[in-house]
Structure 1
Amino acid sequence: MNKRKFSFGPATLVTAAFIGPGTVTVATKAGASFGFVLLWALVFSVVATMILQEMTARLGVVGRKGLGESIREQFTNPTAKAVAVILVISAIVVGNAAYEGGNIAGATLGIDAVFGEWFLAGTLNGWALLIGIIAFTLLWTGSYKLIERFLIAIVLLMSVSFLLTFIITKPDFSELFSGLFIPTLPDGATLTVIALIGTTVVPYNLFLHASSAKKKWHNEQDLPEARRDLWISIPLGGLITMAIISTAASAFFAKQIEISSAADMALSLEPLFGASAKYLMALGLFSAGITSAITAPLASAYALAGLMKLGNDMRSVKFRAVWISILITGVILASIGFKPISIIWFAQVANGILLPVVAIFLLWTMNQSFLGKHKNSLLQNLLGGLVVLVTLMLSTRSLMSAFGLLN
C-alpha cells in the first residue's frame, strides 16, 4: 500500500489565523511585562487548540458537516435552536469584528513604522484600505486551494524570521523551561493569560477548520492525514508564539521597556538584523495582518452559511456578502482613530471570553450519533471538558476583574 505524501492543509489555515498582529502584540507584551513566566499559558493554549481542532477535523472529514451546520441540525426545538443560533452568531460577529479590526490595525503598525501614516480624505487610513483590498481580491477568487497555498507560504516565511530571531537572542533556557512547566500567575497577569489563550484558541477557527477539512478530505480513511496536518501545523504556531514571547522577555523584560508601538516590537528582531529590524518587523506585521485578515472573514462566512442555510459555495452572493461585511467592518475599525494596540488587545480578550460558548457547542456536537464510531470517546470528552472548564474559570475571573470585583 502506498503511503500518501504529507502536505500542509487546513490546519495551517488555523495557524495562519492565530499568528496575526494580535499574536505578535500580545506575545511581545507578555514577554516584556512578565518575562518567561506565562509560557505555561501558551502550552495550555496549544494543547487545548489541538484537542478542539481535532474534534472539528473529525466533524468535517467523517461527519461531512461544518460546525455551524451541525449545530443547526442537532437542535430540533425551535426555541432552543433560535437561542443557539443567536449565541453563536453573536460570538462570531462580535469576536470577528473586533478581531478583523485588530488584524488590519496591527498590520498598519508595521507599515507606519517604516513609511509613516497615510490618511485619505482626512480620516480613512490608507494602509488599512490597501490591506482590505488585498484580502478582498484573494477571497473574491473563491479558490480554496489558492487561499490555502498563499497562507501556507506566508506562515512559513514568518516562522523562519521569528525562530531565527529566537535562536540569535540566546534566551535563558532555565527560565524558559521553568516558565513552560511551572504555572505562575503574577499580579496583574490575568488579562494577559486570557489574551494568550484568545490569540491561540480562536473560536472562529473551530468553524473554519471543520468546513475546510470537509472541502479537502472526503471520507474517514483521510482522517489520519487530517490528524498529521494538525499535529504538525498547530505546534508550529505555538513554537512561533513561544519564540516571540522569549525574544521579548530577553530584549525588554530585564530593561523594563514598555511596549507601545511597532518600533518597540521591532527591537525583538534587532539582535539578529541590526538596523534593518524595523523593516523586517514591518514585513512580518504586514504579512501577519494579511493572513488573519483573510481567515477571519472566511471563517465568519463558513459559520453563518452553516447556521443560516446559505450554502458553502465560496463564489455565491450570500457567502461573499458575509465575508465582505466583516472585512469592511475591520477596515472601518482600523481607520476611525482607535489605538491599534488597544483594538488588538480587546480582540484577544474578547475571543478568550467567547471561547467557552463555542467550545461547549462543539463538545455537545461531537457526542451525536451521526458520527458513529468516531464520536468522542470518554477521554476526548474529559479533555474537552477540562478545556471548557479552564476557559470558563479564566473568563469569569477576567469579567470580575473588569467590573472591579477583583483586585
Structure 2
Amino acid sequence: MSNRNDDSLSEVHSSVSTTDKTGWRKLFAFIGPAYLVSVGYMDPGNWATDIAGGSQFGYKLIWVLLMSNLMALLLQSLSARLGIVRGLDLAQASRNTYPTYINYPLYVLAQIAIVACDLAEIIGMAIGLNLLFGLPLIWGISITILDTFLLLFLMNKGMRMMEVFIVSMVFIVGISFLTEMFIVEPVFGEVISGFKPSILSGNALYIAIGIIGATVMPHNLYLHSSLVQTRKIERTPKGIRESLKYNFIDTTVALNLAFFVNAAILILAATAFYKNGLFEVAEIQDAYKLLDHIFGSVAPTMFAIALIASGQSSTITGTLAGQIVMEGHLKLRIQPWIRRLLTRLMAIIPAFYTILHFGEDALGGLLVLSQVVLSLQLGFAVIPLIHFNSDKSKMKEYAIKTWVKILAWLTALIIVSLNVQLVIEEIGGWIKDTTVNVWWIYLLVIPVIVMIFALLVYVFIMPFFKKSELQSSNVPHGEALKIGEIQPIMYHKVGVSVDFSKYDRNTLRHALLQGGKNAEYHLIHIVETAGARFHGEKVLDHETQSDTDNLQKYKLNLEELGYKINIAIGYGAPAKAISEIVKERGLDLLVMGAHGHSGISDLIFGTTVEKVRHNVQIPVLITK
C-alpha cells in the first residue's frame, strides 16, 4: 500500500466525498476541478492574442478560438481520465515511465513553463491595478507577492473553498464581458460568419498560432490529472465510469465558458477597434484607453476588474501545478508557501528588470515572450499524456479508442507544429533585429532548442519500444521492512523544551513518562530578547532573570517528586540554541510542545519544531 503522502496534492486528496450522493447532488459534487483548470484558458496571455486578433482581423479568427477550444477539451478529458483510472497525475506517470535522467529536464521545462505562466499573471494583475487605481506598474508587480498568503489561506480552508474562490473569479470575468457585450452592441450576424474556417497567411497565421499556443497550456494538463483525484470515488468499474462521465460534463461546461470569455474578448476588440478603423491595438493598456474613449467609463472599468480577477485566479492554479510537477517528477515535497514564493520571485525578477531597463511599455513584449516559452514545453505534456491513455496494460478497458487516439495525435501534431513555427519565427525576428547581438542566439539559444527538440523526440519514441521496461511502482519510500522482536528503549538524558505557557504541563508529563525516575531531565528554555540575540549569555535583562527564576521553580517542584533535574538556558534563535544544547549535553531524546498554529500564524510562530527536528540526530517527541 502506498503512503498517504505519496498521493497527488496529498493535502486535499479524496477530500470531497461523492459516494453518498445521487442525481444533481452527485453532479455538483464532481463540479469544480475543470473550473480551476479553465482559468488558465482566459488568463492575460489569452487576452493579448484575442485583442490583437480582433483588432486586426475582426471576427475572422473566431473559428480558430473554437478549434483550439475543441483541442483543449480533448486533451483535458484525457488528463482527467489518467487521474481517475490510474490514480496518478501526469508528472507521476512520467516518473514511472521515463528514466530519472529524463525526468529532471522534464521537471525543469515544466517549472520554466509555470514561471512563464506566472509572469503573464503578474503583468496582467499589475496592468489591471494600474488601469483601475492608477497604481504604477512596478508597485503593482510588488503587490502580487502577497498572493503567497492568499494561497496558504485557501489551502488551509480546503479544496471546496478554493474552488468557490476560483469560480467567483471566473464569474466576475464572465459578468464583466457580458456587460461589455451589451455596451459595444456587436452585429451577431457578422459574429456568426467568423465561425466559418478560412485560409490564413502572414500576420493572421502568426496570431492564430499565438491563440492556440496561449489556449492549450501545459500546466493545465498536469493540474487536471491531479485535481480530479480530490473526489473520493468507489474504485469499482461502475464508480470509475460514473466519475469519467461527470468529469467530462464538468470539463465541457467549464471549457465552453472559457471559450465564450475568449470569444467575448475577441468580439469586443473587433467591434470596438476593427470596426472603428483601429487595426493595431495589441496592448491591453491601449484597449482600455480606447474603450474609455469610445464607450465611456463603465466598459473599461469592467475590463480592468475582469483582468485583475483573471490574473488572481490563474496564479493560484499555477501554484498548484508547480506542486504537482515537483512532487511528481522529483519526489520532492517542500512547504507550499516556500515553493509559491520561489515561483513568484522567479517571475517578478524579469518583470522588474524589464520595467527598470526598458520601461513600462516593454511589458507587452514580455507578455508575448512568456507565451513563446509556454509553447516550447507543450509537447512534453501532450505527447506523454496520449501515450499513457493509449496503454492498455495500464488503462485496461479504459484505454482510449482508436478514433480518439487518431484525433489526439492529430491535435498533438497541429499544436507542436504550430508552436515550433511560432518559436522559429520569433528567433528569426531576433536575428533580423539590428539592436540584438546575434552571436548569443547562435551560441546559446539555438543549441538549447536543438537539445530540447532531441528530448521531445525521445519522449515520443521511447514508450513505443520500451514498454517492457516501464516502471509500475509509484511508492517513493521503498518496501516495508520486517520488524522482528521489539526491544525496550531506555532514555537516560531527556531534554524538555519549556516556555512557561499552559502547554508546559502536558510537555513535561510526556517527557517524564519516557524515562521515569531513572532518567536525567534537562529543562531547556531560550531567551529571545534583542539583547539575548546580540550579547548571548552575557545579557542580564529582566526577561533573562525572570526565566531563570521560573526554571528553578520547575526544577525544585520536580525534584520534590523524585526526578533528577538540570536546567539549560539558551539565547537568540530558538531552533539553533535548542539544537546546540542537545549536542553539548549529549541528550538522547528531546520532547517539545507544538502549539497548533495554522495559516499565517504557522509561518510566524510554527517553524522552530521543524528546524530543530532537522538539526538534531536524536528522536524528537512533539506533543500538543
Which residue number in structure 2 is paired with residue 118 of structure 1? Answer: 136
Which residue number in structure 2 is paired with residue 199 of structure 1? Answer: 214
Which residue number in structure 1 is paired with residue 23 of structure 2? Answer: 3
Letter in 2 for 1:65: L
Is the contact between residue 95 and residue 329 of structure 2 (CA under 8 Å) also seen in structure 1?
yes
Which residue number in structure 1 is paired with residue 56 of structure 2? Answer: 33
More displaced 10-residue stretch of structure 1: 242-251 or 260-269? 260-269
More displaced 10-residue stretch of structure 1: 278-287 or 52-61? 278-287
Distance 2:338 2:262 in 1: 33
Aligned pairs, how many?
Answer: 392
Which residue number in structure 1 is paired with residue 428 of structure 2? Answer: 404
Distance 1:263 1:320 in 2: 32
Which residue number in structure 1 is paired with residue 140 of structure 2? Answer: 127
Is the contact between residue 169 and residue 271 of structure 1 (CA under 8 Å) also seen in structure 2?
no
Distance 1:372 1:323 in 2: 37
Corresponding residue SS for 2:23: coil
Distance 2:38 2:57 in 1: 24
Distance 2:53 2:149 in 1: 32
Letter in 1 for 2:374: N
Which residue number in structure 2 is paired with residue 136 of structure 1? Answer: 149
5+ residue gaps in structure 1? Answer: 120-124
Distance 1:231 1:196 in 2: 19
Residue 336 (str. 1) matches residue 353 (str. 2) = yes
Letter in 1 for 2:341: I
Letter in 2 for 1:50: L
More displaced 10-residue stretch of structure 1: 319-328 or 365-374? 319-328
Shift, 1:128, TM fit = 1.7
1:136-176 Cα distance to aligned partner (Å, 9 max, x none):
32245423222211001110111111123224423233432
Distance 2:133 2:114 in 1: 28
Distance 1:12 1:359 in 2: 20
Structure of greater Rg: 2
> Could you tell me which of 191, 199, 202 is aligned with 1:176?
191
Shift, 1:320, TM fit = 4.2
Letter in 1 for 2:104: I
Distance 2:349 2:425 in 1: 29
Shift, 1:87, TM fit = 4.1
Letter in 2 for 1:86: Y
Inter-CA distance 261–51: structure 2 relative to 1 (3 Å threshold): closer
> Could you tell me which of 190, 212, 223 is aligned with 2:244?
223
Letter in 2 for 1:92: A
Shift, 1:345, TM fit = 1.4
Is the contact between residue 165 and residue 271 of structure 1 (CA under 8 Å) also seen in structure 2?
no
Inter-CA distance 198–400: structure 2 relative to 1 (3 Å threshold): closer
> Could you tell me which of 292, 306, 326 is aligned with 1:284?
306
Letter in 2 for 1:356: G
> Could you tell me which of 218, 237, 244 is aligned with 2:265?
244
Which residue number in structure 2 is paired with residue 98 of structure 1? Answer: 116
Letter in 1 for 2:263: M
Residue 310 (str. 1) matches residue 332 (str. 2) = yes
Shift, 1:363, TM fit = 0.6
Of structures 1 and 2, the one scoring higher in RCO (CA 8 A, sep 6+) is 1
Inter-CA distance 268–216: structure 2 relative to 1 (3 Å threshold): farther
Which residue number in structure 1 is paired with residue 35 of structure 2? Answer: 12
- Greater share of strand: 2
Letter in 2 for 1:53: Q
Shift, 1:374, TM fit = 1.0
Shift, 1:194, TM fit = 2.2
1:80-112 Cα distance to aligned partner (Å, 9 max, x none):
x422x1342233122221221111111111221
Shift, 1:356, TM fit = 2.1
Which residue number in structure 1 is paired with residue 90 of structure 2? Answer: 67
Distance 1:269 1:294 in 2: 29
CA RMSD of aligned residues (A): 2.5
Which residue number in structure 1 is paired with residue 176 of structure 2? Answer: 161
Letter in 1 for 2:120: G
Letter in 2 for 1:225: Y
What is the TM-score when the length of structure 1 is the normalising length?
A: 0.88
Distance 1:33 1:57 in 2: 36
1:38-89 Cα distance to aligned partner (Å, 9 max, x none):
22221111001110100111111221111000111123xx3xx422x13422
Is the contact between residue 372 and residue 423 of structure 2 (CA under 8 Å) also seen in structure 1?
no
- Greater share of helix: 1
Is the contact between residue 128 and residue 331 of structure 1 (CA under 8 Å) also seen in structure 2?
yes
Shift, 1:388, TM fit = 0.6
Which residue number in structure 1 is paired with residue 498 of structure 2? Answer: none
Distance 1:191 1:333 in 2: 25
Shift, 1:217, TM fit = 4.2
Inter-CA distance 135–251: structure 2 relative to 1 (3 Å threshold): farther
Shift, 1:330, TM fit = 2.1
Which residue number in structure 1 is paired with residue 589 of structure 2? Answer: none
Which residue number in structure 1 is paired with residue 340 of structure 2? Answer: 323
1:242-287 Cα distance to aligned partner (Å, 9 max, x none):
0110110111113125325444222676599732333322211111
> Could you tell me which of 381, 390, 400 is aligned with 2:414?
390
Distance 1:182 1:257 in 2: 21
Shift, 1:205, TM fit = 0.1
Inter-CA distance 156–328: structure 2 relative to 1 (3 Å threshold): same
Distance 1:90 1:194 in 2: 24
Distance 1:373 1:324 in 2: 42
Which residue number in structure 1 is paired with residue 550 of structure 2? Answer: none
Which residue number in structure 1 is paired with residue 444 of structure 2? Answer: none
Is the contact between residue 177 and residue 303 of structure 2 (CA under 8 Å) also seen in structure 1?
no
Is the contact between residue 165 and residue 268 of structure 1 (CA under 8 Å) also seen in structure 2?
no
Distance 2:337 2:288 in 1: 36
What is the TM-score when the length of structure 2 is the normalising length?
A: 0.59
Is the contact between residue 103 and residue 344 of structure 1 (CA under 8 Å) also seen in structure 2?
no
Letter in 2 for 1:137: L
Corresponding residue SS for 2:281: coil
1:163-208 Cα distance to aligned partner (Å, 9 max, x none):
2322442323343233222133142233322221122111100001
Distance 1:11 1:141 in 2: 18
Distance 1:354 1:36 in 2: 29
Question: Identity rate of aligned residues, in percent?
Answer: 25
1:214-261 Cα distance to aligned partner (Å, 9 max, x none):
112434132211111011000110111001101101111131253254
Letter in 2 for 1:333: P
Residue 377 (str. 1) matches residue 401 (str. 2) = yes
